[in-house]
Amino acid sequence: MVKLRENEQKTLLVLEKLGGRAAVEQITSVSGLAYAAIMRAALVLKAKRLVKIHEQKQTTVTLNQEGKLYAQRGLPERRTLNAAYQKGGEISISDIPHEIDMPSSSIPIALAWLIQKDWATIDKDKGTVRLTKKQKPPKGDDEKLLALLARKGTVVVEELDKSLRHIVATLRRRKLIDTKERTLHELELTEQGWKLIKKGIEVSEEVSQLTPELIITGKWRRKKLRKFDVTAPGPTVYPGKVHPLQQIVQCAREIFLEMGFTEIRGPLIETAFWNFDALFQPQDHPAREMMDTFYLANPKAGGLPKKSLVDAVAKTHENGWTTGSKGWGYKWSREEARRLVLRTHTTSETIKYLSKHKTPPIKVFSVDRVYRNEKLTYKNTAEFHQIEGIVVDKHVTLRDLMGTLKTFYTRFGLRKVQFWPCYFPYTEPSAQAVFYVPKLKRWIELCGMGMFRPEVLAPMGIRYPVLAWGGGLERLAMIELGLDDIRILYGNSLGWIRRTPLCL
Ligand code: PHE
């Protein structure tokens, strides 16, 4: 004997009433049960071979504002054509806007479609549109679909005539319609289902909610508790949520906070002094060239810190100052240092912080935006985020730095991290952290790192070792989100944002 639960019985009976086959929405309104409740029941009924579940994708189309306007007044090419007819087959392009009260921004669209549809040719010398045919061309499929949409409001693409279905894509490209996709579920009674209804259904009593009363009285021992099927499909909901890239930013932030770091932030616009000079990057360093750095046109220059600090940096560049280094051996320019740049890395904030905080222990980080004059490609954007940080303490070494970063990336979910030797003008030794991406079958760079050189530390008045690192965040985001094009992170495609789960 098949025993059913109440919702399953209800679903079957409503289905019978509706003739044996019905959409879940319809069953919802007749039975008063929630969509998810019916889907849950349907899965059980399907397992018992009492119903079949049919799934169907449906695309609905509606006119947007421009579409409505065109449906009402006619497509720009049609209106231009009509005007040309009235004028005997030829109309001057400059006359179109006032002849038919059309904004001049629509003219290029009208002309392009007149040609595309072979309704007219353009006489460039005379600046006119000349019609190609004696007869007015009949309504095209695009115009028919516009009219249908204006009449009906919404139509289902799959239910359209073939001749109109093919034109949907064209109207979408012309940005005259909005389309929405949804999945419809339909239930159908099987032969066994019909038989069972005829015989009469026995309902098993089950409790779906454990109440205080059931617990206190001990009745729960004798009741049958209903099982939940958490995999049963429900309606899709798209709640508002934090952008996936921001989720990763927050995640990086939380990991550093948990590791005992404090966050620092600074301005997006910096003087070259903090972005380059304070980091012992010579003024003719290739990274400073226009190719990589965005220099501000207006205002061009900013202020420098106190004289003793600037002098110390200048001397270190010129001859090494008290550091024992020979420096770079050139004449340091104050003007060059005052130039304003969009910061190319957040190391500018770290070094600025060090100029004011000299007592260990120090553990600070930042996750913030930086700018480089890069061509926009699948792997580069001109604006991106860096994860940056420093540790200052009496006896810290490169080993501590590797340990810190290993911990950070492990918490991020990256296990296979290695450290390779590398070069930066402001650290010695220098290294880079790399991560193996099995999908790409190669190692990719996570961040640059190292211990600040004496030439960087002495002018700031720091007497302890400083561990420093900085690297891109978007790379991490791409690995985490499974993307192979960085531009998706900034494209604001609603579809992608919706599809990306809230909990990464
Ligand atoms: N600033 C370097 C970059 O942008 C990274 C780095 C930071 C390297 C600190 C060493 C120390 O690539």
What is the reported pLDDT for 207?
84
Lowest mean pLDDT among 65-69, 273-277, 284-288: 284-288
Quickly tell me which residue has 């209804």 as its tokens.
197
What is the reported pLDDT for 504?
61
What is the reported pLDDT for 338?
98
What is the reported pLDDT for 1?
61
Share above pLDDT 70 across residues of the chain, in percent, rounded to a whole number? 99
**pLDDT tens for residues 173-196?**
999 999 998 888 999 999 999 999
Atom of ligand 1 at shortest distance to CA of 345?
4
Burial 410-444 (b: 16+ CB within 10 A, else e): eebebeebebeebebbbbeebbbbbbeeeeeeeee
- Strand extents, DSSP E, 26-176: 51-63, 90-92, 120-123, 128-131, 154-156
Question: Under DSSP, is residue 396 helix (H, G, I), strand (E, B) or coil?
Answer: coil
Cα–Cα distance measured from residue 223 to residue 94, given in angstroms and rounded to the nearest whole number: 83
User: Using DSSP, how many helices (H) and how many strands (E) does the chain show?
Assistant: 22, 18
For 188, what's the count of Cα atoms within 13 Å in the CB-facing half-sphere?
7
Cα–Cα distance measured from residue 17 to residue 197, given in angstroms and rounded to the nearest whole number: 11
Q: Supply the mean pLDDT for the chain.
A: 92
Atom of ligand 1 at shortest distance to CA of 388?
7
**pLDDT tens for residues 26-83?**
999 999 999 989 998 999 999 999 999 999 888 999 999 999 999 999 999 999 999 9
Closest C-alpha to 68, from 166, 168, 177: 177
Total residues found in the chain within this entry: 504
Quickly tell me which residue has 């799959």 as its tokens.
158
Whole-prediction pTM: 0.64
473 close to ligand 1 (CB < 6 Angstrom): no
Cα–Cα distance measured from residue 342 to residue 372, given in angstroms and rounded to the nearest whole number: 8
- Residues 6 or more apart whose CB falls under 8 angstroms from that of 69 comprise none
Lowest mean pLDDT among 233-237, 320-324, 464-468: 233-237
494 token code pair: 């609603």
448 close to ligand 1 (CB < 6 Angstrom): yes
Cα–Cα distance measured from residue 400 to residue 233, given in angstroms and rounded to the nearest whole number: 49
389 close to ligand 1 (CB < 6 Angstrom): no
C-beta atoms surrounding 457 within 10 Å: 22
List the domains of the chain with CATH numbers.
Answer: 1-63+146-235 (3.30.1370.240), 65-137 (1.10.10.10), 247-499 (3.30.930.10)
What is the reported pLDDT for 134?
86
The string of DSSP letters for 417-458 reads: EEEEE---TTEEEEEEEEEEETTTTEEEEEEEEEEE-HHHHH
Ligand 1 mean position, distance from CA 42 (Å): 57
The string of DSSP letters for 326-368 reads: ----S---HHHHHBEEE-S-THHHHHHHHHH--SSPEEEEEEE
Ligand 1 mean position, distance from CA 299 (Å): 27
